Structure 1
Amino acid sequence: MKLDDYRTSDNISDQRGGCGGGGFNLPIGGGKMGIGTVIILGIAALVFGINPMDLMQGGGLPGGAPVATQQGGQNAAQSCAVDEKSKFSCQVLASTEDTWGAIFREQGQQYQPATLTFYDRNGRSGCGAAQSAMGPFYCPADNGIYLDTSFFDELATRFQAAGDFAQAYVIAHEVGHHIQTITGRSNEVRRAQQAASEADGNELQVRMELEADCYAGVWAARNRDRIEPGDIEEGLTAANAIGDDTLQKAAGRRPVPESFTHGTSAQRMAWLKKGLTSGDPAQCDTFSAARL
């Protein structure tokens, strides 16, 4: 994806020591609201026994000391300049800000961007601890996306989803959860889940994740002039790799649809494609869809 000449976002904070790089040893993958829940809620629920409903409702994982944070302005520029992964992440976030800013203006509204926080191994979010097993995630309590960029290496090696567009998809998906938060979708779903059975609550979460996938596709569609040959395939490969059925099979388990929290590989690819094809967020309403 051609973002070399793109600005970097100012909505950046950094919990890495001295703004230095580094990463976590992601043993499996996991998180709060995202690709986040990429491999986040999905594998965390499968392997670590984390309840995805608790995480989505703002409950954090225990542990972790308070972490010093540098934010905005010159500090943001320094954080973005740490390495190529950081710079690219800041450029993707800036692109989502411009894209969603334009979409919101079309609707007579003003877009309030999310903040991207870099962390290394252990950090702190408004939803609790940011830990290596969580992967990239979105925290609705502080409108923040949390990312250890070494996750991208894990995405490429363990999940065979390499490429800059796959990385961009991860961030754009988390921004999709931010859109759901500021439009009120997240609160609506949480209220519905409180009165739902576990299976029905999981289905609502699947619809949340697929809508965020579609929003990621909308962002890409609105930046089609920056997409290079092979980018779309990279994104679809990533979406395929993180489907609930694929993850459960990889964990040596028989897929159990009632336990899905992110959707099947086919569903994730389909909704990403829908956003890519339409470029219209109104086409991403998974909650009105009779079939996913």
Structure 2
Amino acid sequence: MRWRGREESSNVEDRRSDGGGIGDGGGGFRIPVGGLGRGGGPSIGVIVVVMVVLWFLGINPMVLLQGGSIDLGGGAPSPVREASRTGGGEDEMRQFVGVVLKETETTWDQIFKASGETYPKPKLVLFTGQIQSACGFASAASGPFYCPGDRKVYIDLAFYDELKRRFKAPGDFAQAYVIAHEVGHHIQNLTGVLPDFNEKRRSMSERDANAMSVRVELQADCYAGVWAADAERRGLLEAGDVEEALNAATQIGDDAIQKRMQGYVVPESFNHGTSEQRKRWFRTGYENGGPDACDTFSPRSL
């Protein structure tokens, strides 16, 4: 991805030196990467990639959705997290995240303007280890997430090291895809998709809520593809970038995660979509280039 030297977003909050602090969550849901929250109180972002990390680590995401919290504690720091403490290459990663967020702002500014609307930009918060958001407390184990309650995307940059090493999804555009996916949840919040799901899930069975969550997640993947198409039109993409994103989508499919974790899959527990579905919907957004192609809620969309 040709990102060096490009303008960074002013909507990045660097809270890596805050030390995190464990809070009680304010009654909100604990956040697995990209999860959704309940209506009536702070909600959590559904996404992206993310319950992925929980599945991979052998943690049941439903524990978080039902009010639990987790903290991996102990353990040796990853190379990326160590860099965040010592300086290292973290400044470059901070710049990268700022540029990618700015590029998503450019894309969605244009799309909203074409509809006669103004795009309310999300904030992106960098943290290390643990964080308190409007959606409650989350640790790095939760992965990147979007919180509708404060319209912010949260990411511990150590996740990118996990994406590369454990999920075998290297490359800067795989990293950009993660941000674009979470921004996709912000678009869903603005268009009413997240509030609608938060309301409906209160009366859904776990199985039905999982099935609806898959559709929400796949739409965020499609929106990430829409951004990728616009980034390509503006000359940001390099050879192999789209393949990096597709590989990331493959590695974090529910079926791939479960096979890696336990050797078999449980389809009724899927909440992000299979590898094939995630690739297909990213490609749908990329090939069509507009959000109208991202209707993952029609009966035959899956």
Taking the aligned partners of 1:103 and 1:89, their CA distance within structure 2 comes to: 21
- The aligned counterpart of 1:68 is none
Structure 1 equivalent of residue 239 of structure 2: 229
Q: Distance in 2 between matches of 1:126 and 1:169?
A: 24
What per-residue deviation string (whole Å, max 9, x for no partner) do you get for residues 1-58 of structure 1?
1111321111111211179xxxxxxxxx952439963442244267222317837xxx
**Structure 1 CA distance for aligned equivalents of residues 14 and 137 of structure 2:** 15
Task: Find the aligned partners of 1:45 and 1:265 in 2 and give their Cα distance.
Answer: 14
User: More deviation in 282-291 or 165-174?
Assistant: 282-291
What residue identity is the alignment partner of 2:16?
Answer: R
**Percent identity of paired positions between Structure 1 and Structure 2:** 44
3-state SS of 1:7 partner: coil
What letter matches 2:94 in structure 1? Answer: S
Aligned mates of 1:187, 1:166 — CA distance in 2 = 28
Equivalences for 1:54-73 in 2 at 5 Å? Answer: 54=65, 61=69
290, 296, 299: which is aligned to 1:286? Answer: 296
Amino acid at match of 2:273: G
Please report the TM-score for the alignment, with normalisation by the length of structure 2: 0.81
Q: What are the superposed Cα offsets for residues 208-257 of structure 1, whole Å, 9 maximum, x if unpaired?
A: 00000000000010111211000011000000000000000010142111
Which residue, 91, 96, 118 being the options, matches 1:83?
91
1:31 to 19, 28, 33: 33
2:230 and 2:266 map into 1 onto residues whose CA distance is 36
Equivalent-residue separation in structure 2 for 1:210 and 1:39 (angstroms): 11
Q: Any unmatched runs of 5+ in structure 2?
A: 20-30, 37-44, 72-86
In the alignment, what sits opposite 1:169?
Answer: 177
Alignment partner, residue 254 of structure 1? 264
Aligned length: 264
- Using the TM superposition, give the Cα deviation of residue 149 of structure 1 relative to its aligned residue in structure 2, in angstroms: 1.0
Deviations 1:125-161 (A, max 9, x none): 1111131211111111111111111211111111110
Aligned pair 1:4/2:12, yes or no? Answer: no
Kindly report structure 1 stretches of 4+ aligned residues shifted beyond 3 Å: 34-39, 59-63
Letter in 2 for 1:162: P
Residues 1:92 and 2:100 are matched in the alignment:
yes
Matching of residues 112-151 of structure 1 within 5 Å: 112-151=120-159
Q: Does 1:50 align with 2:50?
A: no
SS class of match (2:162): helix
In the alignment, what sits opposite 2:220? 212
Counterpart-to-counterpart distance in 2, 1:279 and 1:190: 28
Q: Kindly indicate whether the alpha-carbon contact (under 8 Å) linking 2:63 and 2:69 is maintained by their aligned counterparts in 1.
A: no
Aligned to 1:155: 163
**Equivalent in the alignment of 2:278:** 268
1:60 Cα deviation after fit: 7.6
The answer as to whether partners of 2:70 and 2:139 remain within 8 angstroms in 1 is no
Distance, in Å, in 1 between the alignment partners of 2:48 and 2:263 is: 19
TM-score, normalised with respect to structure 1: 0.84
Q: For residues 48-99 of structure 1, give each alpha carbon's deviation from its aligned partner in whole angstroms, at most 9, with x where no partner exists.
A: 22317837xxx68378xxxxxxxxxxxxxxx9x9511111011000000111
